[in-house]
């Protein structure tokens, strides 16, 4: 069983496993394949699992956890690091606590390790994905974050954070937060390295978790560009590693935790093979020089009548 290193979790004094298992697959739904893959991941040594109310995988993950405990694959829930995310229709101050309780019911757990605001935007209550853009609303960051803090005080979650926040939106949040976010979960891969955001978060004591480290291939938000990148292909061939392993290793070497989704046994195992070797200075330099392009531009949240009228506005110019 592979031992996955742990990293500090923001300024919480807690830790987060450096490599985690993503559960988002489109169309958003739990499945037997997903559950079988999670069980396989437990056996191989993954302990960090990422879910979200949006993905409809909380129940599947919860079932896999209780099965793994009853089969003795894991000893107790405390060995795990479980993340979920607040869906934007619940990003309203009075809906946050009930939404987290609902996530916990789905997961059949008493607490989350980490709960994140999924996107910096709200939606009329009750709306699921896909939604009509006319129902998008600006998020009141202050009051939603206060409700997230309440969840932590109530013990529903050990830590709280955000996802898809720019430096500017983090500044807004930090200006009123009593508990700073432990994590900002964002897209990071060799084609979208986000150096400025990483530096900003480091300075503020916020951990980064990388999603779509392989570009999220095969999803509605993803791209094949990462796994098809010639520079990465050449490095992988010279090194006797796969392109996916080069991507994951590169993210890990940036000192951030990384989530990778695979529902394929061979690839779940392959993705763990990143801890016993290093990228050379020359390989790191080549990766640094790859032209940068964001994979997911958040077009679902851009609308003439909504709070963000352009991709530029959503990411505050970080595109």
3-state secondary structure of 187: strand
**Nearer Cβ to ligand A2P, position 80 or 227?**
227
- List the x/- string, 205-234, binding to ligand A2P by CB under 6 A: -------xxxxxxx---x----x-------
C-beta of 148 vs 243, nearer to ligand A2P: 243
Single residue of 58, 82, 262, 306 touching ligand A2P by CB under 6 A: 262
Asked if residue 20 binds ligand A2P (CB under 6 A), the reply is no
Q: Rounded to the nearest whole angstrom, what is the least distance from the CB of residue 220 to ligand A2P in the complex?
A: 11
Pick out residues in 267-306 that bind ligand A2P (CB under 6 A).
267, 270-271
* Contact with ligand A2P (CB under 6 A) among 121, 179, 244, 279: 244
Structure tokens at 44: 């191989």
Q: Considering Cα of 146, then 151, then 154, then 155, what sign does the dihedral take?
A: negative
Angle between the 230-239 and 243-253 helix axes, to the nearest 10 degrees? 100
Is residue 264 at the binding interface for ligand A2P, with CB under 6 A as the rule?
A: yes
CB 267 → ligand A2P: shortest distance, Å?
A: 4
Q: Which of 200, 263, 301, 314 binds ligand A2P (CB under 6 A)?
A: 263
Distance (Å, whole) CA 82 – CA 109: 10
Which sign does the torsion angle of CA 148, 105, 261, 9 carry? positive
| Comparison of 233 and 267: residue with beta carbon closer to ligand A2P | 267
Instruction: Give the residue from 293, 313, 295 showing the smallest Cα distance to 303.
Output: 313
Radius of gyration over alpha carbons of the chain, in Å?
19
* From 17, 22, 161, 181, residue interacting with ligand A2P (rule: CB under 6 A): 22
List the structure tokens of 113: 């390790």
Nearest distance in Å: CB 32, ligand A2P: 14
Q: Which of 46, 55, 211, 308 is catalytic?
A: 55
Percent helix, strand, coil in the chain (nearest 5)? 40, 15, 45
Sequential DSSP letters for 222-273: --STTTT-HHHHHHHHHHTS-HHHHHHHHHHHTT-EEEE----HHHHHHTTT
**Nearest to ligand A2P of 215, 306 (CB atom):** 215
| Using rule CB under 6 A, residue 261 touches ligand A2P | yes
Look at the block and give the residue holding tokens 């964001």. Answer: 294
Which of residues 295 and 306 has its CB atom nearest to ligand A2P in the complex? 295
55 is catalytic: yes
Applying CB under 6 A, the residues found at the interface with ligand A2P are: 22, 212-218, 222, 227, 242, 244, 260-264, 267, 270-271
Residues with catalytic annotation?
Answer: 55
């Amino acid at each position: 069983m592979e031992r996955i290193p742990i990293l500090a979790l923001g300024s919480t004094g807690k830790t987060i496993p450096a490599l985690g298992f993503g559960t988002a697959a489109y169309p958003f739904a739990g499945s037997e394949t997903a559950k079988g893959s999670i069980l396989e991941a437990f056996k191989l040594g993954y302990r960090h699992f990422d879910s979200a109310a949006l993905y409809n995988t909380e129940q599947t993950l919860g079932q896999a956890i209780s099965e793994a405990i009853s089969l003795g694959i894991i000893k107790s829930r405390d060995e795990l690091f479980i993340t979920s995310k607040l869906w934007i229709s619940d990003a309203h101050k009075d809906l946050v606590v009930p939404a987290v309780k609902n996530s916990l019911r789905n997961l059949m757990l008493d607490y989350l390790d980490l709960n994140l605001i999924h996107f910096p935007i709200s939606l009329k209550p009750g709306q699921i994905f896909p939604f009509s853009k006319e129902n998008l609303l600006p998020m009141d960051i202050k009051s939603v974050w206060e409700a997230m803090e309440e969840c932590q005080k109530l013990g529903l979650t050990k830590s709280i954070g955000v996802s898809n926040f720019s430096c500017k939106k983090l500044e807004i949040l930090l200006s009123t937060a009593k508990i700073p976010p432990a994590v900002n979960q964002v897209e990071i891969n060799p084609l979208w390295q986000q150096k400025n955001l990483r530096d900003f978060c480091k300075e503020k004591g916020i951990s980064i978790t990388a999603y779509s480290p392989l570009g999220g291939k095969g999803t509605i938000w993803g791209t094949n560009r990462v796994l098809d990148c010639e520079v990465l292909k050449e490095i992988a061939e010279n090194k006797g590693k796969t392109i996916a392993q080069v991507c994951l290793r590169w993210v890990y070497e940036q000192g951030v935790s990384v989530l990778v989704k695979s529902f394929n046994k061979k690839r779940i195992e392959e993705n763990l093979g990143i801890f016993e070797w290093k990228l050379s200075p020359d390989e790191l330099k080549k990766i640094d020089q790859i032209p940068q392009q964001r994979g997911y531009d958040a077009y679902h949240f851009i609308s003439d009548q909504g709070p963000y009228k352009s991709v530029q506005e959503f990411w505050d110019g970080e595109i």
